[in-house]
Structure 1
Amino acid sequence: MNETFQANGEVLERRWPALWARLQGEDLTALSPRVTGCGSTLSIDGVQLTSRYDRVGEARLQADSLALDSTVVHLYGTALGDLQGVLLERPALRTLQVYIVNSALFVMVLGLLDQRLWLGDPRVELSLAGEQVEMALPFFALPGEMVLADDFNARMRDRLVSETHLAFNNRHFAAAQPHLLQRLQETETLVRSDPDVARLFDTLQGREVLVIATGPSLEQHFAALKAIAARAERPLIICVDTAYRPLRKQGIVPDLVVSVDQLISERYLPPDDSQAVTLVYLPLVPADVLQRWQGPRYAGYSASPLFDAMRQRLPRGSLHTAGSVLHPAVDLAVKMGARRITLFGADFAFPHDKTHAGWLDSELGPSVKAARYWLHDGHGQRVKTQLNFRSYLLELERFIARHPQVQFFNTSRDGALIAGTHYHPEFVA
C-alpha cells in the first residue's frame, strides 16, 4: 500500500465504509496498465481511459454535453478523475452521482493518482453501477469504461450503450424515407382489407402462450414442442417469422406467426400449407409475401411515426417494437390476455458458437466469428453476442418489468439471462 492509495482509502473508508470494504477484495492481477501519450493516460488492453494528449480538455468537451444548469448529474465510470473535477466546478451542481463500472480498475487508479479532490466533495455520491436496476438521467458514460466494464456492472453497461446508440439506431425510421413510403403504398390495400390485429386482443382468457424465437437453444426443444403441438388441449403457439420455417421442417405448426421486417421473404415465410396459421404483420412486410399467405392475416402498426399517416386513414391496433420481432410477438401474447408466457429460443446470444436454430451461420445476419461483444448466460458465464442483441434483451427486460401481472418463463440457460423470467422446470434442469 503506497501513500496515495492510503490517502484515497481514508476518504473512502470515512464516507462509504461498506463500499471500501468490498473494493479492498478486488484482484488487480488481471489488469495490465500502460502509461501512454504526452498527456499520461492509462491504457488497459489497448483501451485508453482518457485522451492521451489533453485529459482536461477532453473532460471539458464531455461536460459540455450536459446542461450547464443541471443540479444533478450521473457519471458512469471513474477513469482518472478528470471529468469529476470539471463537473464539480459548476456552481449549479448539487449532486454528482458517480458509479464505478470496473471495480478493479478504480482500485488501481486509487494507488496511482490522488482522487481526494472529488472523493471528498460533499456533493459526490459513489456506488457500483451494477447495484442499480436502471440508468438515471442526465448521464455521461465514459467511453473507455464501457469497453472495460467488469462482470458485476455489465448489465448497466449494456443499458448505457443502448441508450447512447438510441438516436443512431432510430435514424432509419425517424424520417419518411422514399423506399419505406413506397412499401407502405404497396401494402395499403392489404391493410385496408385485412382485419385489425386488435380483434385478437383479449381473446385468450388466461390461456398459456408459448412464444418461439430463433435462438440456437430452440433446437433443444423441437421434440418437446412437437409433442406439445399434438395435444388436444395445449398452449397457444406464437412464433417469430424466422422461426416459422425451422418449426415446419420439424412438423410443428404454430397458431400464429408475427412478421414486421421489410426484408422478409417467402424464404422465411413459405406460403405452402399455411392455411391453418394466422399471420400478424406490420405494413413493411412485402406485399407479395402477404398476398401468397394462405392463412388468415391481421394488420397492425408499431408506435413509429412512419405509420402515422396510414394510421389516421386506417386505424389499427399497435404492437410494441424495439428492434427484434420477438418484442411484438411477446406483446401480442400479453394483449391477447396471456397470464403465463414461456419463451423458447430467446437467447440474444450465440451459445455453442451458433447464431440461429434451423439456419446456417450468417444466413440471418453476421457470422458468429464477427461477434465482438458478450453478455451473461443462465450459467453465469460470458457468451458471445452482437451489440444490437444486447439492446433487444434490455428492451425485453423492460417490457417484462412493465407487466408484473404476467409470469414469464425461459427454457434454456445457454442463452442470455433474462431479468424478470423464471426457468421453466419442465425444460430446464
Structure 2
Amino acid sequence: MSEFFQANAEVLQRRWPALFERLMAEDSSAIEAELTQGLGSTLSVNGIQLTSRHERTHEARTQAASLPDKAQLHVYGTGLGDLPGVLLERTNLDRLYVHILNGALFALVLQLIDQRQWLEDPRVELFYAGDLSDICTPFFALPAEMLLADDFNAKIRDRLVNEVHLTFNNREFDPQLPAIQQRLRDSLEVLLADDDVAQLFGTCSDREIYVIGTGPSLENHFERLAAVRAQAERPLFICVDTAYRPLRQHGIIPDLVVTIDQLISFRHLPFEESDGIPLVYLPMSSTQVLKAWKGKRYGAYTASPVYATLREQHPRAELHAGGSVIHPAVDLAVKMGGTRITLFGADFAFPMNKTHAGWDDGDLGPALEQARHWVHDGNGERVRTQLNFRGYLCVLERYIARHPEVSFLNSSRAGAMIVGTQFNPEFVQ
C-alpha cells in the first residue's frame, strides 16, 4: 500500500472504523482510472474526469460558491477531496456531511492522494450516501460521480439528479407563458360545469384499490385483471389515461380514469364507449377530449403555481403531482380511502424490451433504443429506463413514505423496485 493510503487509513480507522472496514471490502482494482493531463492533472474513469484537469481548486471554489452560507452543508461524491477542502475554509461551517457515491472509487483515491486535510477536520462526517433513505439539503453533487455512482448508492443518485433537474423540467409550466394561460381559459367552461374531485374522497374506505399504469408488466396481468373485474365483489380499478385503450381491448372496463396531459388525444382516450366511466382530470387536459367524454367528469388541481389563480377564483380539491399521471392516480386512491393499493404497470422502466403495454415502441415517448439509464428491478437486476422515469419513481417513493397508514403493493418484479412497497402474493410468486 502507498504512504498516502497508510496516512489516510489511520484517520479513517480512528474516526469511522465501521466505514473503513466497508471501504477495505471494496474492489478498487475494478476501477479503470488513468491520469489526465492539462495545465494540471486529474483522474479519469471510463472517460469521465473526476475534476478539472486544468485548475482543480478554482473549480472547487466555483462549486462552493453555489452553496449558501449555512452552518451545515452536504457534499455528494468525494472526488479528489477539493470541494470539502474549500468548504472547510468557512469559519461559520459547523458540520460538513460528505456522502460517498462510489465506494470503490473512493478507496482508490485514498491510495493515490493525501485526503487528510478534510478527513481530519472534526466538522466532517463521512458515510455512504445509500445509508440514508433520501437526500439532504443544501447540497452540491459532484457531476462526475453522479455518472459513476455504484449500485448501492444508485437510489440516492437518482434523487439527486431529479432534484438538480427540477427547475429545468418545470420551465414548460411557467404560469406566465401565453400558451399556459390560453389553455386554462379554454378549459374553464368545462371545469365550471363539472364536479369537484373532492366528491370522490372517502367513498372507498372499505375497498381494495388497483391503480393501473401502462408499464410493460401490465401485459402479464390482462387475463387475471379481466377475471377479477368480472367478480361480484372486487377491488376498484383506477387506470391512467394511456392504460385505458389497452384495458378496453382486453375486455377490462376501469371504474375511474385519470388524465392530466394536454397531449392526450382521442387516440389515447377514445370516448365512444365511455358511458358510465368517471374521468378525473386537471385543467391542462385537452378540452376536446374532456367535452367528448360521456361519463361523469371531476375536475382537480395540483399544488402547481399554474393553478394558483384558478384555485383562488374557483376552488377545487388537489391531487398530488410529480410529472406523471401515476402520481395523481395513486393520490386519488388514497384520498378515496384506500388502505390497500396494488400497483399494476408502474414499472418506471422498460422490462421485456418494451416501453409500454399495448402500445408500439415510441408511441408514448422515446423509443427503447434511446434508453441510456437504469434502475434496479424487483430482482435487484439493472433494467433500462429513461431519466424522467427515474424522477417519477423518486416522487412516488417519497409519497409512499409519507403515507405509512397505507399498504402499497406491487404486482410485478419486472419493473423498477419501488421503495416502500411489498409484492402482492396474488400476482408475484
Work out whether the TM-score is over 0.5: yes
Q: 1:11-22 alignment to 2 at 5 Å? A: 11-22=11-22
Q: Distance in 2 between matches of 1:21 and 1:303?
A: 45
**Match of residue 284 from structure 2:** 284
How many Å apart are 1:28 and its aligned residue?
2.2
**Match of residue 252 from structure 1:** 252
Structure 1 spans left out of the alignment, 5+ residues: none
**Match of residue 84 from structure 2:** 84
Extract structure 1 runs of 4+ deviating beyond 6 A.
none
How many Å apart are 1:271 and its aligned residue?
0.4
Q: Distance in 1 between matches of 2:353 and 2:6?
A: 45
**Match of residue 298 from structure 2:** 298
Q: Read off the aligned partner of 2:124 and give its amino acid letter.
A: V
How many Å apart are 1:137 and its aligned residue?
1.2
How many Å apart are 1:185 and its aligned residue?
1.3
Q: Distance in 2 between matches of 1:10 and 1:194?
A: 69
Q: Read off the aligned partner of 2:324 and give its amino acid letter.
A: S
Q: Contact conserved, 2:374 with 2:385, CA < 8 A, in 1?
A: yes
**Match of residue 400 from structure 1:** 400
Q: 1:107-146 alignment to 2 at 5 Å? A: 107-146=107-146
The reply on whether 1:105 has 2:138 as its aligned counterpart is no
**Match of residue 47 from structure 1:** 48
The reply on whether 1:184 has 2:184 as its aligned counterpart is yes
Q: Read off the aligned partner of 1:264 and give its amino acid letter.
A: I
Question: Could you give the per-residue CA deviations for residues 328-387 of structure 1, whole angstroms, max 9, x where no partner exists?
Answer: 000000111111100000000011221000001110000111111111111001111111
How many Å apart are 1:5 and its aligned residue?
1.1
TM-score (norm 1): 0.98
RMSD, aligned α-carbons: 0.9
How many Å apart are 1:205 and its aligned residue?
2.3
**Match of residue 59 from structure 1:** 60
Q: Distance in 2 between matches of 1:70 and 1:294?
A: 55
**SS of residue in 2 equivalent to 1:418:** coil
Q: Distance in 1 between matches of 2:44 and 2:62?
A: 20
**Match of residue 321 from structure 1:** 321
Q: Distance in 2 between matches of 1:66 and 1:332?
A: 37
**Match of residue 174 from structure 2:** 174
Q: Read off the aligned partner of 1:149 and give its amino acid letter.
A: A
Q: Distance in 2 between matches of 1:275 and 1:216?
A: 27
**Match of residue 275 from structure 1:** 275
Q: Distance in 2 between matches of 1:29 and 1:6?
A: 17
**Match of residue 388 from structure 1:** 388
**SS of residue in 2 equivalent to 1:29:** helix
How many Å apart are 1:303 and its aligned residue?
1.1
Q: Read off the aligned partner of 2:50 and give its amino acid letter.
A: L
**SS of residue in 1 equivalent to 2:195:** coil
The reply on whether 1:96 has 2:130 as its aligned counterpart is no
**SS of residue in 2 equivalent to 1:111:** helix
Q: Distance in 2 between matches of 1:161 and 1:283?
A: 29
Q: Read off the aligned partner of 2:246 and give its amino acid letter.
A: P
Q: Read off the aligned partner of 2:20 and give its amino acid letter.
A: W
Deviating more after overlay: 179-188 vs 371-380: 179-188
**SS of residue in 2 equivalent to 1:378:** coil
**SS of residue in 2 equivalent to 1:140:** strand
Q: Contact conserved, 2:175 with 2:181, CA < 8 A, in 1?
A: no
Q: Read off the aligned partner of 2:138 and give its amino acid letter.
A: P
Q: Distance in 1 between matches of 2:310 and 2:118?
A: 54
How many Å apart are 1:32 and its aligned residue?
0.9
Q: Distance in 1 between matches of 2:241 and 2:123?
A: 51
How many Å apart are 1:252 and its aligned residue?
0.3
Q: Distance in 1 between matches of 2:133 and 2:189?
A: 45
**Match of residue 312 from structure 1:** 312
Structure 2 spans left out of the alignment, 5+ residues: none
**Match of residue 216 from structure 1:** 216
Q: Read off the aligned partner of 1:386 and give its amino acid letter.
A: Q
TM-score (norm 2): 0.98
How many Å apart are 1:3 and its aligned residue?
1.4
Q: Distance in 2 between matches of 1:83 and 1:287?
A: 51
Q: Distance in 1 between matches of 2:405 and 2:15?
A: 40
Q: Read off the aligned partner of 2:56 and give its amino acid letter.
A: R
Aligned residues: 428
Question: Could you give the per-residue CA deviations for residues 49-71 of structure 1, whole angstroms, max 9, x where no partner exists?
Answer: 1011110000000000012x321
